[in-house]
């Protein structure tokens, strides 16, 4: 009866001061979270409000009906009237379930009249799920991130490995690889499950590590190890030696090249090529320089040998010279005898 009265009054003077206003008529909230319908109401009969109630639009037997939340068991512990009997009609619903999605209405009764809101709050309860298309790309390819929710025109924020990420569409670079999550702006606590992006690229930063025992001599066994940054990891290595005439000669395969002796390699120049299925990369050339101290050793040894020979020769010369002198002295003596003899004659 009251309703009928209100319908009659709707365009009349009484309805002018009567209203229910919803601050946000289309809230979108994450499953499990809480939502607050901020609401105010006005009436102009100067009377006091006796009763307020929130109800939900429910389809029953093909007809929409407003069912008071107090009559719905599943809302009993989860709905909380934050308003009062003056002008505030706010409502909170906690621990949101999927089936809380729907239309919500407010009504109040004064001593004389009842008033139901014509408009409603439409609540969307959503989950957030992240997608990445495609999830494995080559560096430079386009990638699209999509955050699925049931919200209308939601503001979405993306995070990559804990940091806010920029655009949902980009050309993937190596550093874009990682895990992405999305959230509805303002409800960042409710993150989607992470989705991974794999960015593949051919070997980069190919380098050679040289190892040998002690110092490098012409007879050292030298190991060259080829490493690179690649995704997927390089699985095919080729080793080249550069000849004196600048030819590149293939000298081995595998990540480690073991060189038994450098004698065959006058230039000592090597480089490696790393491959994965996306391409190849060459290292810069490494030069193996035989340790100079080795040559010095040789020179010193030779030096000592020469000195020994010179000393020996000197000794021989001295001995020879001494003998020569003795012999000539004897001759002189004999000659002097001759003179003596002659003089004695």
Ligand X SMILES: *[C@@H]1O[C@H](CO)[C@@H](O)[C@H](O)[C@H]1NC(C)=O
Return residues touching ligand X (CB under 6 A).
17, 19, 21, 40, 42, 73-74, 76-77, 97, 99, 204-205, 211-213, 223, 229, 236, 240, 248, 256, 258, 273, 275, 280, 282
Shortest separation between residue 316's beta carbon and ligand X, angstroms: 49
Both tokens of residue 77? 């512990």
41 or 158: whose CB is closer to ligand X?
A: 41
Shortest separation between residue 167's beta carbon and ligand X, angstroms: 23
Query: Is 3 in a helix, a strand, or coil?
Result: helix
**Closest residue (Cβ) to ligand X?**
229
147 or 274: whose CB is closer to ligand X?
A: 274
Shortest separation between residue 123's beta carbon and ligand X, angstroms: 13
243 or 336: whose CB is closer to ligand X?
A: 243
Shortest separation between residue 180's beta carbon and ligand X, angstroms: 20
149 or 228: whose CB is closer to ligand X?
A: 228
Q: For the purposes of burial, counting CB atoms within 10 Å of the CB of 247, is it exposed (0-12), middle (13-18) or buried (19 or more)?
A: exposed
Backbone φ and ψ for 315, nearest 5 degrees, come out as -60, -45
Both tokens of residue 166? 């920029």
Shortest separation between residue 252's beta carbon and ligand X, angstroms: 12
87 or 148: whose CB is closer to ligand X?
A: 87
What is the distance of C-alpha 9 from the center of its chain?
A: 66
Residues β-bridged to residue 250: 240
Contact in structure between 131 and 148 (CB atoms under 8 Å): yes
3-state DSSP helix/strand/coil percent for the chain, to nearest 5?
20, 45, 35
The DSSP code for 88 is B
């Amino acid at each position: 009866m009251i309703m009928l009265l209100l319908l009659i009054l709707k365009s009349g003077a009484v309805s002018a001061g009567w209203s229910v206003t919803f601050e946000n008529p289309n809230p979108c909230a994450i499953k499990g979270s809480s939502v607050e319908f901020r609401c105010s109401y006005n009436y102009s009969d100067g009377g006091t409000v006796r009763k307020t109630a929130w109800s939900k639009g429910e389809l029953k037997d093909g007809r929409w009906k407003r069912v008071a939340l107090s009559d719905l068991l599943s809302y009993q512990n989860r709905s909380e009237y934050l308003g009062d009997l003056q002008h505030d009609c706010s409502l909170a619903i906690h621990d949101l379930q999927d089936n809380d999605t729907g239309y919500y209405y407010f009504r109040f009764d004064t001593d004389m009249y009842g008033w139901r809101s014509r408009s409603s709050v439409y609540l969307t309860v959503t989950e957030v799920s992240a997608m990445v298309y495609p999830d494995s790309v080559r560096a430079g390819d386009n990638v699209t991130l999509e955050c699925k929710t049931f919200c209308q025109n939601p503001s979405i924020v993306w995070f990559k490995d804990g940091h806010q990420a920029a655009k949902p569409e980009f050309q993937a670079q190596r550093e874009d690889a990682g895990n992405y999550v999305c959230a509805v702006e303002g409800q960042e606590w409710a993150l989607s499950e992470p989705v991974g992006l794999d960015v593949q690229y051919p070997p980069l930063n190919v380098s050679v590590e040289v190892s040998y025992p002690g110092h490098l001599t012409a007879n050292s066994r030298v190991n060259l190890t080829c490493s690179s940054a690649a995704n997927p990891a390089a699985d095919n290595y080729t080793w080249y030696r550069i000849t004196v005439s600048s030819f590149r000669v293939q000298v081995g395969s595998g990540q480690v090249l073991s060189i038994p002796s450098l004698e065959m390699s006058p230039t000592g120049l090597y480089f490696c090529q790393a491959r994965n299925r996306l391409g190849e990369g060459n290292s810069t050339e490494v030069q193996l320089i035989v340790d100079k101290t080795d040559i010095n050793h040789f020179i010193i040894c030779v030096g000592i040998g020469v000195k020994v020979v010179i000393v020996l020769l000197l000794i021989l010369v001295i001995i020879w010279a001494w003998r020569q002198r003795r012999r000539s002295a004897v001759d002189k003596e004999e000659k002097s005898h001759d003179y003596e003899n002659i003089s004695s004659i």
